Structure 1
Amino acid sequence: MPDLNAPESSSNSRAVERALDESKQVKKTVEEAADELAVVHVVLDKGVSEDARTDDLDRAIEQTDQIEKKLSKSVDLLEKVAEALETENHKKAS
């Protein structure tokens, strides 16, 4: 008897594979943004003397640090999503 779920399973497998590829690309983009923001943070924090800083600049420096941390957490979460998708894809392929 033919497997009536085969086309749907194949379609689901392709969807999981596509989601995996897209999540890896997003992870790479977020990682790059976090790295670039970390550089901006260091330049602002170390490149501007304490005497030349304004309250606005100090807030901006703090914000760059907080945003970089959020992006890094997002990278970690995207890594977990990619791992879960890979596991699911391997299960479907078996």
Structure 2
Amino acid sequence: MAQFRERFAQYQVENVERGKLLLGADPTLMLQRGDVIALGGSLAALTSHMGVLGPEMPDARALDIPLDQAEIVVTHRDAIGRALKDFSGSTIAGKFN
């Protein structure tokens, strides 16, 4: 998983389905041929490279991922005047290292 994330940093792995198992997206998970990977990312990333990783699959089970929502108050003065998208590459935006 770590190598996949390094090679395809524009995507966020949300879930992996292997057969009848849903494995989540633990960084130590070893991907195997035939795994179905539920990806997240920007619309541009998800549509401009379609087919590079494999065919898109309408797999509702793999995509059944609970989503979190929170209100965030930014109080650091360095954030003043910056667009939210400026933070998309930081660890606070859900990227995994």
Give the TM-score band, short-chain normalised: under 0.3
**TM-score for both structures, normalised by structure 1:** 0.21
**TM-score for both structures, normalised by structure 2:** 0.21
Bigger CA radius of gyration: 1
Structure (1/2) with the larger helix percentage? 1
Report 1 or 2 for greater relative contact order, CA contacts < 8 Å, sequence distance ≥ 6: 1
Structure (1/2) with the larger strand percentage? 2
